[in-house]
Amino acid sequence: MKIFCGRANPTTGSMEWLEEGEDYDYHQEIARSRYADMLHDKDRNVKYYQGIRAAVSRVKERGEKAIVLDIGTGTGLLSMMAASAGADFCYAIEVFKPMANAAVKIVEKNGFSDKIKVINKHSTEVTVGPDGDMQCRANILVTELFDTELIGEGALPTYEHAHKYLVQEGCEAVPHRATVYVQLVESRRMWSWKKLFPVHVEAEDGEKILVPPSEMENCPGVPSVCDIQLNQMPSSDFSTLSDVVTMFSVDFSKPVQSASTYYRVQLEPVKSGKAQIVLSWWDIDMDPSGMINCTMAPYWVKPTSALQWRDHWMQCVYFLPREEQVLQGEKLYLTACRDEYSVWYNLQKAREGENKAGEEEHKADVCVESPVCRCRAHLLWNRPRFGELNDQNRTRQYIESLRKVLKTDSVCLCISDGSLLPVLAHYLGAKQVQGMQPSRTDLYHPHELWQAFFKANHLEDKIKIIEARPELLKPSHLEDKKISVLVGEPFFTTSLLPWHNLYFWYARTAVSTHLASNVTVLPQSASLHMMIVEFQDLWRIRSPCGICEGFDVQTMDDMIKDSLNFRESKEAEPHPLWEYPCKSLSEPEEVLTFDFTKPVPQHCLSTEGSVKLLQKGKSHGAVLWMEYHLAADTSVSTGLMQLSNEKGNCEWNPHCKQAVYFFSSVIESEILSDPTAVTYAINFDTKTGEIAMDFKL
C-beta of 294: minimal distance to ligand SAH in Å?
Answer: 12
Residue 586 and residue 661 in contact, taking contact as beta carbons nearer than 8 Å = no
List phi, psi (to 5°) of 535. Answer: -85, 145
Active site residue 207: no
Residue 345 and residue 277 in contact, taking contact as beta carbons nearer than 8 Å = no
Could you tell me the CA-to-CA distances from 396 to 71, 194, 282, 401, 419 in Å, in that order?
A: 53, 21, 40, 8, 14
* 149: contact with ligand SAH by CB under 6 A: no
Q: Which of 50, 73, 183, 346 binds ligand SAH (CB under 6 A)?
A: 73
* 37: contact with ligand SAH by CB under 6 A: no
Contacts of 414 (CB under 8 A, 6+ apart): 421, 422, 425, 433, 434, 435, 436, 486, 487, 488
- In 145-287, alpha helices (H): 155-165, 188-191, 214-217
Residue 373 and residue 219 in contact, taking contact as beta carbons nearer than 8 Å = yes
Q: In the window 128-147, what residues touch ligand SAH (CB under 6 A)?
A: 144-145
Q: Which of 10, 13, 51, 72 binds ligand SAH (CB under 6 A)?
A: 72
What is the secondary structure of 281-328 as a DSSP string? EEEEESSTTS-SEEE---TTTSTTSPPPP-SSS-EEEEEEEEEEEE-T
> 557-595: buried (b, 16+ CB within 10 Å) or exposed (e) per residue?
bebbbebbebeeebbbbebbbbbbbbbbbbebbebbebe
DSSP assignment letter at 350: P
Q: Which of 78, 297, 326, 522 binds ligand SAH (CB under 6 A)?
A: 78
Contacts of 17 (CB under 8 A, 6+ apart): 4, 5, 6
Active site residue 144: yes
* Beta carbon nearer to ligand SAH, 126 or 377: 126
* Beta carbon nearer to ligand SAH, 122 or 445: 122
Residue 436 DSSP SS3: strand
Q: Which of 24, 26, 96, 262 binds ligand SAH (CB under 6 A)?
A: 96
* Beta carbon nearer to ligand SAH, 123 or 139: 123
Q: Which of 36, 38, 515, 626 binds ligand SAH (CB under 6 A)?
A: 38
Q: Which residue of the chain is nearest ligand SAH when measured via CB?
A: 72
* 123: contact with ligand SAH by CB under 6 A: yes
* Beta carbon nearer to ligand SAH, 160 or 589: 160
Q: In the window 654-693, what residues touch ligand SAH (CB under 6 A)?
A: none
* 13: contact with ligand SAH by CB under 6 A: no
**Nearest alpha-carbon partner for 294 in 181, 178, 183:** 178
Binding mask 304-323 for ligand SAH (x = CB under 6 A): --------------------
C-beta of 174: minimal distance to ligand SAH in Å?
Answer: 11
Give the separation between CA 23 and CA 585, rounded to whole angstroms.
36
Stretch that binds ligand SAH, among 9-17, 75-83, 197-205, 404-412 (CB under 6 A): 75-83
* Whether the bond into 490 is cis, omega within 30 of 0: yes
**Nearest alpha-carbon partner for 305 in 314, 295, 317, 291:** 295
The residue annotated as part of the active site, out of 29, 108, 153, 359, is 153
* Beta carbon nearer to ligand SAH, 36 or 626: 36
C-beta of 93: minimal distance to ligand SAH in Å?
Answer: 5
* 71: contact with ligand SAH by CB under 6 A: yes
Residue 656 and residue 576 in contact, taking contact as beta carbons nearer than 8 Å = yes
* 95: contact with ligand SAH by CB under 6 A: yes
Q: In the window 460-489, what residues touch ligand SAH (CB under 6 A)?
A: none
C-beta of 78: minimal distance to ligand SAH in Å?
Answer: 5
128 burial via Cβ count (<10 Å: 0-12, 13-18, 19+): middle
* 117: contact with ligand SAH by CB under 6 A: no
* Beta carbon nearer to ligand SAH, 71 or 182: 71
C-beta of 253: minimal distance to ligand SAH in Å?
Answer: 18
Q: Which of 94, 147, 323, 627 binds ligand SAH (CB under 6 A)?
A: 94
* Beta carbon nearer to ligand SAH, 29 or 571: 29
Q: Which of 77, 134, 526, 630 binds ligand SAH (CB under 6 A)?
A: 77
Stretch that binds ligand SAH, among 71-79, 482-490, 503-511, 530-538 (CB under 6 A): 71-79
C-beta of 50: minimal distance to ligand SAH in Å?
Answer: 14
* Beta carbon nearer to ligand SAH, 81 or 199: 81
Give the separation between CA 605 and CA 686, rounded to whole angstroms.
7
* 557: contact with ligand SAH by CB under 6 A: no
Q: Which of 8, 68, 93, 413 binds ligand SAH (CB under 6 A)?
A: 93
* Beta carbon nearer to ligand SAH, 26 or 197: 26
Give the separation between CA 594 and CA 445, rounded to whole angstroms.
30
**Nearest alpha-carbon partner for 351 in 321, 323, 330:** 330
Give the separation between CA 468 and CA 388, rounded to whole angstroms.
26
Q: Which amino acid is present at 245?
A: V
Residue 280 and residue 180 in contact, taking contact as beta carbons nearer than 8 Å = yes
Stretch that binds ligand SAH, among 92-100, 457-465, 510-518, 668-676 (CB under 6 A): 92-100
Give the separation between CA 469 and CA 514, rounded to whole angstroms.
13
Give the separation between CA 654 and CA 228, rounded to whole angstroms.
12
**Nearest alpha-carbon partner for 203 in 430, 388, 364, 409:** 430
* 165: contact with ligand SAH by CB under 6 A: no
* Beta carbon nearer to ligand SAH, 149 or 323: 149
**# residues near ligand SAH by CB under 6 A:** 19
C-beta of 57: minimal distance to ligand SAH in Å?
Answer: 20
Catalytic site residues?
A: 144, 153
Give residues in contact with ligand SAH (CB under 6 A): 38, 71-75, 77-78, 93-96, 99, 122-123, 144-145, 154, 158
